[in-house]
Amino acid sequence: MSHISFTTTLPLETYRQLGVLVVEDSPHMASMLRIILNELGVTRIWSARSGEDALGVFSRHSVDISVIDELEPPLDGLSIVRAIRMAETDDLQRVPAIYLTTQRSREEIIAARDAGVTEILSKPFSAAQFVARLETVLKRPRPIIKSENFIGPDRRRREQGATDERRKG
């Protein structure tokens, strides 16, 4: 068994309290994500191999973060993200979605952003890169914006202290 190497800047108690849904149709990738989450101390992990299964988990459990693969149609990863963003409850609309994809074109990235994805992680990725995305979601949560054409995380990333630096300049 290989050793997974990564560091975390958040207390492990933060991870122990999380409920994470992993939506991944590859058993190998789903297992790898589960191992990383377990190493962080996450104990409430739900798995889904299809979009339909994922929506079922969202309806039955209190999910704090979702990790969603691109999946195959008819209910692909972006369709799942759109479904949670359009949900009737604010709690479900606010669930951060880390989108796992092999697509790297500008058009695909824009499509993911427009669907309401919180963070994008391109495959292949390391455990450290995955943990970095989790920490971004946890440390800098973005408010959900609701407009006529979009429901999803605020596209503007506000770095802590950035406003103060602009005011000084």
Q: Are 151 and 144 in contact (CB under 8 A)?
A: yes
Evaluate whether residue 103 is within a structural domain: yes
Strands across the sheet with 19-23, in order? 44-48, 19-23, 65-69, 97-101, 119-122
Q: What is the largest CA-CA distance in the chain?
A: 52
For residues 105-121, average pLDDT: 95
Evaluate whether residue 127 is within a structural domain: yes
What's the rounded Cα separation, in Å, for the pair 82 and 86? Answer: 6
The position carrying tokens 């391109």 is 122
- Check residue 6 and give its pLDDT: 80
Across the chain, what does the average pLDDT equal? 90
Domain extent, residue 29, equals 12-168
Element (H, E) at 146: strand 144-146
Evaluate whether residue 47 is within a structural domain: yes
pLDDT above 80 for 4? no
For the chain, the domain total comes to: 1
Q: For the chain, what percent of residues have pLDDT higher than 90?
A: 81
Evaluate whether residue 5 is within a structural domain: no
Evaluate whether residue 4 is within a structural domain: no
Evaluate whether residue 114 is within a structural domain: yes
pTM exceeds 0.95, yes or no: no
Element (H, E) at 151: strand 151-153
pLDDT above 80 for 78? yes
The position carrying tokens 């919180």 is 118
Evaluate whether residue 3 is within a structural domain: no
What's the rounded Cα separation, in Å, for the pair 10 and 2? Answer: 24
CATH of the domain at 131: 3.40.50.2300
- The number of beta carbons lying within 10 Å of the beta carbon of residue 101 is 19
Residues 6+ apart with CB under 8 A from 103: 70, 109, 112, 122
Band the pLDDT of 105: cuts 50, 70, 90.
Answer: very high
